[in-house]
Amino acid sequence: MKRKCTLISVAMTTLVLVSLCTVCASISVSAAVSSSANIQSALVGAPAGVAGAPAVCKPYVNGGYIALFVRGNDGALWWESWDGTWSGWTSLGAPAGGLTSDPAVTTPDYNYMTVSVRGTDGALWVIETSDGGNSWGGWYSWGGQILPGTGPTVCSWVTLSGTTSTNHYAWFVAGTDHALWWRETTSNWHGLGGYLTSSPAAAALPTLSFTDKSIDVCTRGSDGALWLRSYADGSWSGWQGLGGQIVPGTAPAMDAGRISAQQIGRFEIFVEGTDGALWHRVNTGASWSGWQGLGGKLSSSPTSADVNLNYVAQQIDVFVRGTDNALWQKYYVAATNRWSGWISVP
């Protein structure tokens, strides 16, 4: 099948903690992207040390290939891949002056990966590959001004026209005016209003016909609560309050995927509670569930996988750092509608 894939960018917010008070528990939220594999051992050998949270994606349809990105203490972007063994670290450099946020990565289609960060000039910077990381383009800027202390988030989807597929990207930032701003692959920046006091988090799914997309984006508002806007059928909804009280300086994280042969879409938010446990909310098309505890004892924000949208995400992987400073994994299996227990990643 002939593919026409326009790569623009992925971005994700810098990994931060959030606290969300619901019923009798306050909940702390994170925004980052992650995936499965022996990440702990990889991080130990990272050149110059790791200055923040990793970003991970699964760019291949058959799974089995994992790409890990980190911000080094030297201010550069480093990455390595895993297909049974780790490839070893390679520097991808940085925009002039270095990175000022953790990396964000997305993979909408075969072999495609796009990584985005906030530069020292406050703008959105992007680097990308279309061959699974065998070669990378240079850094380029998509402009904008991102609020200091926050980072961008991004989502991607695929559309079909006959035998041609096209990759699309949209990323969201808190502007220096504290409003939510977004742009797509072929558009300029547009304001969506609001008053953000954290990095936003966003996730997208293509429609079943692969002619459009649905997007959810959420953030901490000026009242400290969680607020959400949704895109569907060509237009944006108004702001919807999801309640809670989010700790200043922290932000939410989102994930989305098709989880069944019937192509049911699943949007999900993962957070670390102030009780140290993992919490989440789920929307499978009707409405958002209440907050549900997944246990554990975390010492970091959770991270969730960015998965190639060409195949059904039958498993959702979540990683956290435990109080023992080791990496721990928990995963959801769509076929059984169950979560695993906690697994220590060697």
Per-residue pLDDT of the chain (346 residues; tens, 9 = 90+): 433 333 323 333 332 323 333 322 222 222 333 333 444 455 555 566 666 667 778 776 555 677 888 888 889 999 988 787 778 889 999 998 899 988 888 888 888 999 989 999 999 999 999 988 999 999 999 999 999 988 888 889 889 999 898 999 999 999 999 999 999 988 999 999 999 988 888 888 888 888 999 999 988 889 888 899 999 988 999 999 987 777 677 778 888 877 665 556 788 888 777 787 788 888 887 789 998 889 888 776 677 766 655 555 567 777 776 777 666 778 888 778 899 999 875 5
Give the DSSP per-residue string, 78-140. EEEEESSSB---EE---STT-BSS--EEE--STT-EEEEEEBTTSSEEEEEESSTTSS----E
Q: Report the SS3 class of residue 333.
A: strand
Give the separation between CA 188 and CA 8, rounded to whole angstroms: 13
126 near 9, Cβ under 8 Å? Answer: yes
Model pLDDT, residue 124? 96
Is residue 7 in a domain?
no
Is residue 20 in a domain?
no
**Checking DSSP bridges between strand 27-29 and strand 265-273, what pairing results, if any?**
antiparallel
Is residue 13 in a domain?
no
Give the separation between CA 108 and CA 124, rounded to whole angstroms: 19
279 near 298, Cβ under 8 Å? Answer: no
298 near 287, Cβ under 8 Å? Answer: no
Is residue 279 in a domain?
yes
* Selection from 125, 80, 134 nearest residue 102 by Cα: 125
Give the separation between CA 129 and CA 131, rounded to whole angstroms: 6
DSSP class of residue 13 equals P
* Selection from 206, 199, 295, 190 nearest residue 254 by Cα: 199
CB-CB neighbours of 135 under 10 Å: 8
Model pLDDT, residue 272? 75
Is residue 135 in a domain?
yes
Q: What is the pTM of this model?
A: 0.76
For the four alpha carbons of 319, 324, 326 and 328, in that order, the dihedral sign comes to negative
Give the separation between CA 226 and CA 165, rounded to whole angstroms: 35
Domain count of the chain? 1
What pairs with residue 45 in β-bridges? none
> Which residue range forms the structural domain that includes residue 252?
27-345
Tell the residue number behind the tokens 């006091």, with chain if given: 197
Is residue 216 in a domain?
yes
For the four alpha carbons of 72, 74, 76 and 79, in that order, the dihedral sign comes to negative
Is residue 2 in a domain?
no
Question: If phi over 0 gives left and psi between -120 and 50 gives alpha, with beta otherwise, what is residue 48?
Answer: left
Model pLDDT, residue 309? 55
Alpha helix ranges (H) inside the chain: 39-44
For the four alpha carbons of 183, 160, 108 and 311, in that order, the dihedral sign comes to positive
Tell me how far CA of residue 33 lies from CA of 78, 135, 188, 243, 246, in angstroms: 15, 22, 25, 24, 20
* CATH number of the domain where residue 256 is located: 2.120.10.70
Is residue 6 in a domain?
no
